């Protein structure tokens, strides 16, 4: 019975191919738009999330300043009000997973006849852990390098490419930073761009003490530009922020109500809001694409109504030879569902193909999840049921005598 009806629905679809195709087209466009938009949206979301995890999770940065010079406050990070002892004190707090004091500057580096200007980060070995930054070759410096301020360096991929080229292995070579020779211990993993487009691989990491004493020697001894702090987990972020503020205010003798000479910033919150934006975008794209699905559904309803009118006599014949109302209902409903499902399958094909092409031509990240395909499919099938039901019911409610007389 059911298989016979499926066969008949298939026949009916083939009876007027152009019309079936045009009806389906609405569905095809709707579904492919949904699949494509979700692929692009989810891709964007994933690339934002990857940038976040590349930065490190549950991060605070404590910046020095803003300093007050004759009543005018200048930019944060300028005055070296933080030092290594502050960093060690923060490390003693509860809920802290890791602390890395950081000082930084720009320097000219030279190898042979090549030179390059890049960011130099002076920090402790825990910096790499906090930022979950691995090495692709060589090894990292250790705490003993910090103690003795050795001239060693970890080199980023962009720097290596610019001063060594592709052929030379940088590990073990000696470069000069601000005229001083440094031995390259290891090569940093590539981290790509930050959310704001800065190249994170265009950097060199040296021991904190080396940077303080031998590269940027004009600062107060032991002072650092910022302290990177990693919390144990997401839940303790706000508690930790409070206790850090309390601790540093106490250490810097800041009276209640006075301006602090440091500021604590929650990096994860910023990154999370970026991820939230990406997710909203992908939802929005999906919602816009769904409108075309709706339009496709209305197209199906329209054609089914025409089809019922055209086939009124056929419905009369079927009723006269024993079709029940629900047989007629089922027949037309099946036809509508079949049109939408076939249209949906074609749409999924086009959507996936289109997403792959977009990925190839724009280099943007594309994620085709089985979830989004499944959603598109079930929405399309329910649109077939929803928009097919009214015409099918109309057919089933026809009076057999009038239907038989219909010309």
The verdict on 19 binding other proteins (CB under 8 A) reads no
CB of 390 to other proteins, least distance (A): 20
Separation of alpha carbons 275 and 267, rounded Å:
13
Pick from 55, 184, 319, 366: which binds other proteins (CB under 8 A)? 319
Contact 336, 8 (CB under 8 A): no
CB of 303 to other proteins, least distance (A): 17
Separation of alpha carbons 64 and 261, rounded Å:
6
The verdict on 214 binding other proteins (CB under 8 A) reads no
Structure tokens at 53: 């995890």
Contact 95, 240 (CB under 8 A): yes
Nearer residue to other proteins within complex by CB, 9 or 379: 9
CB of 309 to other proteins, least distance (A): 17
CB of 340 to other proteins, least distance (A): 22
The verdict on 317 binding other proteins (CB under 8 A) reads yes
Separation of alpha carbons 136 and 187, rounded Å:
6
The verdict on 18 binding other proteins (CB under 8 A) reads no
Pick from 148, 233, 280, 325: which binds other proteins (CB under 8 A)? 325
Q: Of the listed pieces 62-70, 190-198, 274-282, 317-325, which binds other proteins according to CB under 8 A?
A: 317-325
CB of 358 to other proteins, least distance (A): 42
Separation of alpha carbons 169 and 191, rounded Å:
19
CB of 10 to other proteins, least distance (A): 12
How, if at all, do strands 152-155 and 180-188 pair? parallel
The verdict on 280 binding other proteins (CB under 8 A) reads no
Separation of alpha carbons 189 and 197, rounded Å:
18
Structure tokens at 363: 């280099």
Separation of alpha carbons 275 and 114, rounded Å:
39
Pick from 95, 129, 314, 365: which binds other proteins (CB under 8 A)? 314
Q: Of the listed pieces 10-18, 34-42, 266-274, 283-291, which binds other proteins according to CB under 8 A?
A: 10-18
For residue 43, count other CB atoms closer than 10 A to its CB.
20
Q: Of the listed pieces 22-30, 220-228, 387-395, 397-405, which binds other proteins according to CB under 8 A?
A: 397-405
263 beta partners:
63
Q: How many residues bind other proteins (CB under 8 A)?
A: 24
The site string for other proteins over 97-116 (x = CB under 8 A, - otherwise) reads --------------------
Burial of 7 (0-12, 13-18, 19+ CB in 10 A): exposed
Separation of alpha carbons 206 and 309, rounded Å:
81
Pick from 95, 202, 327, 365: which binds other proteins (CB under 8 A)? 327
CA 268, 272, 273 angle in degrees (round to 5)?
A: 120
User: What are the residues binding other proteins (CB under 8 A)?
Assistant: 1, 3-5, 11-12, 15, 313-314, 316-327, 400-401, 404
């Amino acid at each position: 019975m059911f298989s016979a009806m499926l066969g008949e629905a298939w026949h009916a679809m083939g009876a007027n191919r152009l019309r079936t195709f045009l009806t389906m087209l609405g569905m095809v466009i709707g579904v492919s738009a949904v699949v494509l938009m979700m692929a692009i949206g989810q891709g964007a979301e994933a690339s934002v999330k990857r940038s976040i995890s590349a930065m490190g999770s549950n991060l605070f940065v404590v910046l020095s300043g803003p300093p007050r010079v004759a009543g005018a406050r200048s930019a944060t990070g300028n005055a070296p009000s933080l030092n290594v002892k502050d960093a060690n004190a923060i490390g003693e707090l509860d809920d802290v997973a890791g602390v890395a004091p950081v000082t930084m500057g720009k320097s000219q580096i030279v190898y042979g006849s090549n030179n390059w200007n890049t960011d130099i980060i002076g920090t402790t070995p825990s910096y790499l852990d906090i930022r979950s930054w691995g090495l692709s070759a060589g090894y990292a410096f250790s705490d003993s390098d910090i103690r003795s301020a050795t001239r060693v360096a970890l080199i980023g991929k962009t720097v290596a490419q610019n001063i060594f080229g592709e052929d030379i292995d940088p590990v073990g070579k000696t470069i000069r930073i601000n005229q001083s020779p440094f031995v390259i211990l290891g090569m940093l993993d590539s981290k790509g761009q930050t959310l704001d487009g800065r190249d994170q691989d265009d950097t060199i990491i040296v021991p904190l003490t080396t940077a303080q004493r031998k590269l940027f020697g004009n600062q107060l001894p032991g002072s650092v530009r910022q302290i990177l702090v990693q919390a144990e987990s997401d839940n303790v972020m706000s508690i930790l922020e409070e206790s850090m503020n309390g601790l540093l205010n106490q250490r810097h003798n800041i009276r209640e109500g006075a301006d602090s000479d440091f500021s604590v910033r929650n990096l994860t919150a910023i990154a999370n809001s970026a991820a939230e934006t990406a997710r909203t975008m992908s939802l929005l794209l999906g919602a816009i694409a769904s409108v075309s699905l709706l339009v496709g559904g209305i197209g199906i309803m329209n054609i089914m109504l025409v089809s019922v009118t055209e086939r009124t006599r056929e419905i009369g014949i079927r009723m006269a030879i024993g079709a029940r109302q629900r047989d007629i209902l089922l027949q037309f409903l099946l036809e509508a569902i079949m049109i939408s499902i076939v249209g949906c399958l074609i749409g999924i094909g086009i959507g996936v193909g289109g997403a792959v092409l977009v990925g190839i031509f724009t280099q943007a990240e594309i994620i085709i999840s089985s979830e989004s395909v499944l959603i598109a499919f079930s929405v399309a099938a329910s649109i077939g049921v929803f928009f097919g039901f009214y015409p099918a019911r109309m057919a089933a409610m026809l009076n057999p005598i009038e239907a038989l007389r219909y010309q």
